[in-house]
Amino acid sequence: MYSAEKERELIELTRRLLKDIPRIKTSDYNSALKYVDLLRKVIRYHDYKYYIQNSPVISDYEYDQLFRTLRDLEKKYPSLITPDSPTQRVASEITGFFATVNHYAPMLSLDNAYTQEELRDFDRRVRELTGLNRVQYSVEPKYDGAGIALVYKKDILIRGATRGDGETGEDITANLRTIRTIPLRAEFSRYGIDLIEIRGEVLISKEEFKKMNEDRLEEGLPPFANPRNAAAGSVRLQNPAEVAKRKLSAVVYQVSYVEPQSAYPPTHYEAIKMLHLLGFSTPFPDMKLCEGIEEVISYCKEWEEKRERYPYEIDGMVVKVNRREYYTVLGFTSHHPRWAIAFKFKPKQATTKLIGVVFQVGRVGTVTPVGKLEPVQIGGVTVSSVSLFNEDFIKEKDIRIGDTLLIERAGEVIPYVVEVVKEARKGEEKPIKFPENCPSCGSQLVKLPTEVAWRCINIACPAQVILRLIHWGSREAMDIRGLGEATAKALYEKDLVKDVGDLYYLKPTDLVKLPGFAEKAAFNLYSSIQESKKRSLERVIYGLGIRYVGLTTAKKLVEKIKSIWDLEKISLEELISLEGIGITVAKSIKEFFLRKENLEVIKKLEKAGVNLKKEKKEGPLKGMVFVFTGSLNCCSREQAAGIVESLGGIFSNSVTSKTTYLVVGKDPGRTKLSKAKRLGIKTISEEEFLEIIGKHTDLKSITGKEGVLF
């Protein structure tokens, strides 16, 4: 639609307009006439980049500045408004795959405030229109996900739709049904409601987002830029079964339509509380009623600091007039309701220069290019490097050294290159050259036909050996305290350890040779290595670091086998027949056990007395399922799990009807507790837990502590 030349022109024009905003705002009619035209031109272009091509070239913040400037000019000179102005419509994402449906009430977006002053302006307008001296506001986090509207009729979920253009959305009911936080049935009839439309957002947690991108990279797919894109892409997948696999959640935060009208809750706060009580996930616990705008401002500030620690991406706070009775007098603009505003946090995007690229070797040999940046502040954090993922990613975005990059850093998620700002090029930028040899061991890199990554396949490659040691000692694997990055590196460099098997032949006298290791530290590391011999088989399998084999897969394998040697004999077909194990995983396991070097390591482990067999599930705790919440005094959760399993019990991460006990430690999570309560599962304290296991095992040997707790 746009030629490369045209694009360059428009990007240049965008930069100029952004710089000129203060001047544009005060322009007279004749200049306004000119500017309105230019602004519309660039906004249309950026709409196209964002909605059609999915590759924006400016930040959301910059886009918003352009849009607001245009809107303000049109407000100042209403005769300049044309029906095709971008301000006269809300952008649509409709693709034609799903049926379209009309929303009961139009889904308008909220006006944005970027400063405290803009919040005060908003408050002033509300007070003027309502005649109130002080307004009560309801303030809640603004979730950054994909907008949805749900309709319940006679307590049953009958429809779920995307936002679409605000008037009509796409019917994605089948997909939304797979999201567990959306109740398929909710007792609205208790509140006298026959039909209700509610607004919400589909979300992906930051943690899930990270995992999803790791998987995509493994599969050779381009990673998502942020959790919002990932959520939006997920709800519109064509196969609901695929949607179910993505761990989506949904939060609802607005009642937009009710039949009969008289059943409408009188305040926003009560409406959300009702949804909360009916089992929806809502902002309720994080929602606050504020008296007057100053209280609103301080609550927004509080959240701006808290947002990083929140499991979901939040890009601001939503401020709503609490009492519905004022909504009529406040009314709407063509775009926004006047009774609500979104306070946006500092933008999480910035532009900076790529000054170089280094190549890192991962645990399974994958070579990842990492861009070194001129340090830049994004959302209060200094960012100085960014993953460039793989050669295809670099090619697709045409990233060159010396380029100006638009970087986004969403939450705790790693920084991401959104786009290269090509108009900033001076002609001195250099293409990124991928090395032919491993930066760690020098051996030639290979790229398998089905893969996107270059890989070092030298099993003795130092970078990989060190990462394998660290992985083996990690908490979820063998949990060897003291075997961190520095120690693993030193062990390798001092020629003490070449693979994980060697760890078990180390003596305290070897370990004192490590830099900074006094006798006590050496002995502690020695003991935790020795202690790790007792770990369960699944942890051993996971610890070996077989490509694609995570803890879940390791557990699946252990259900099928009795000893690790069974994995050497098991056929590819048998592996694939296991639930959740596909061809890629199965092949990778077979490959691992075909390599002589790997078998040697396992033999070493066996000779040293590391447990390589499945524990007998017979034991005093047989048939009992333990779930833990909060932290324990006696030991780590991994250790507690180990104890339970060694006594024949089952350790589980989530409360189900099969759970025997929920062990409640310090600062327990609300979800597990309320679920246990709902299902009538017995909750016990740490003391009671220790009492149960203390009957069967010597507690001191487990916790290393004298006279634990009782």
Instruction: Please report, as ranges, the residues that interact with Zn ion according to CB under 5 A.
Output: 438, 440-441, 456, 458, 461
- CB within 8 A of 698, min separation 6: which ones? none
Alpha helix stretches (DSSP H) within 257-348: 268-277, 293-306, 327-330
Strand segments, DSSP code E, in 6-106 are 100-102
- List the beta bridge partners of residue 261: none
Least Cβ distance, residue 435 to Zn ion (angstroms)? 11
Comparing CA positions, the residue from 336, 254, 305, 298 lying closest to residue 119 is: 298
Least Cβ distance, residue 391 to Zn ion (angstroms)? 17
Least Cβ distance, residue 440 to Zn ion (angstroms)? 4
**Cα separation values, 124 from 40, 73, 119, 285, 663, Å:** 30, 21, 9, 28, 52
Catalytic-residue membership of 142: yes
Residue 337 identity: P
- Tell me whether the omega of the peptide bond preceding residue 260 falls within 30 degrees of 0, making it cis: yes
Which tokens sit at 23?
């001047």
Comparing CA positions, the residue from 321, 383, 395 lying closest to residue 354 is: 383
Least Cβ distance, residue 458 to Zn ion (angstroms)? 5
Q: Which helix (H) or strand (E) element contains residue 75?
A: helix 60-76
Least Cβ distance, residue 487 to Zn ion (angstroms)? 21
Q: Judge contact between 196 and 257, C-beta under 8 A.
A: yes
Least Cβ distance, residue 669 to Zn ion (angstroms)? 42
For Zn ion, give the closer residue by CB, 440 or 629: 440
For Zn ion, give the closer residue by CB, 238 or 437: 437
Q: Which of 6, 34, 75, 142 is catalytic?
A: 142
The CA distance from 553 to 537, in Å, is 12
Residue 186 has φ and ψ, to the nearest 5°, of -145, 135
Which tokens sit at 438?
């491993």
For Zn ion, give the closer residue by CB, 213 or 366: 366
Least Cβ distance, residue 438 to Zn ion (angstroms)? 3
For Zn ion, give the closer residue by CB, 359 or 626: 359
Q: Which helix (H) or strand (E) element contains residue 389?
A: none
DSSP letter assigned to residue 460: T
In the Cβ-directed half-sphere of 223, how many Cα atoms lie within 13 Å?
A: 26
The CA distance from 388 to 399, in Å, is 9
Nearest 10 degrees: CA dihedral of 442, 448, 452, 456? -20
The CA distance from 577 to 644, in Å, is 29
Which tokens sit at 156?
């049953």
Alpha helix stretches (DSSP H) within 307-390: 327-330
For Zn ion, give the closer residue by CB, 230 or 456: 456
For Zn ion, give the closer residue by CB, 158 or 358: 358
The CA distance from 344 to 64, in Å, is 11
- CB within 8 A of 136, min separation 6: which ones? 289, 290, 291, 321, 322, 323
Least Cβ distance, residue 493 to Zn ion (angstroms)? 16
For Zn ion, give the closer residue by CB, 390 or 404: 390
DSSP string covering 524-550 = HHHHHHHHGGG--HHHHHHHTT-TT--
For Zn ion, give the closer residue by CB, 202 or 456: 456
Least Cβ distance, residue 495 to Zn ion (angstroms)? 18
Least Cβ distance, residue 441 to Zn ion (angstroms)? 3
Comparing CA positions, the residue from 102, 220, 250, 228 lying closest to residue 170 is: 102
- List the beta bridge partners of residue 289: 138
- Residues with a catalytic annotation lie at 142
